[in-house]
Chains A and B, each alone.
Chain A
Amino acid sequence: DTEVTQTPKHLVMGMTNKKSLKCEQHMGHRAMYWYKQKAKKPPELMFVYSYEKLSINESVPSRFSPECPNSSLLNLHLHALQPEDSALYLCASSQTGNYGYTFGSGTRLTVV
């Protein structure tokens, strides 16, 4: 298995909803990442997990809450989002010390 799987592929949520994005990999990678990509812009790093511990938080608002329950799973919990949070959310993983990431196909999130 050489893939990063993200679910759901599309999500529409209201500003008062609580939802979660899920990411799964079975490549034995111990580093996992969340990125946000707006239309016609490059992906921007949000969080880095290394050995299931949050190691990097790029000053992301607290309405985004990451969680790494085990070495294969990464969640992003969403609460009270704003319409400007609508974007493609990408999950990635890598071997620690390997800088080429394996990305999932992303979750396209629309906040209404």
Chain B
Amino acid sequence: GDSVTQMEGPVTLSEEAFLTINCTYTATGYPSLFWYVQYPGEGLQLLLKATKADDKGSNKGFEATYRKETTSFHLEKGSVQVSDSAVYFCALSPGTASKLTFGTGTRLQVTL
């Protein structure tokens, strides 16, 4: 079945550092790929998405590129802020179906 693997946390960075959170997937066909973010005490929010190979999703300085050849969707940000501290989830859905398959989440802690 479908699965998502993302790097374990916590990831601790200083403010303005470069961020990479790795995500790889296994799926049949051509899934859509997502990054969700969860701030403390809140629900998951969609951060960005990509629906086909070589698409780049971007939002709030974060970006991720759908790489079919390596089945990856790594999340990157050039300069993190303390306010980016949260848990980040990589997810996929098969085509236009509704069911989301999530990775285990990566906790990011940004310090001054």
Same complex origin of A and B: no
Residues of chain A at the chain B interface (Cβ within 8 Å): none
Residues of chain B at the chain A interface (Cβ within 8 Å): none
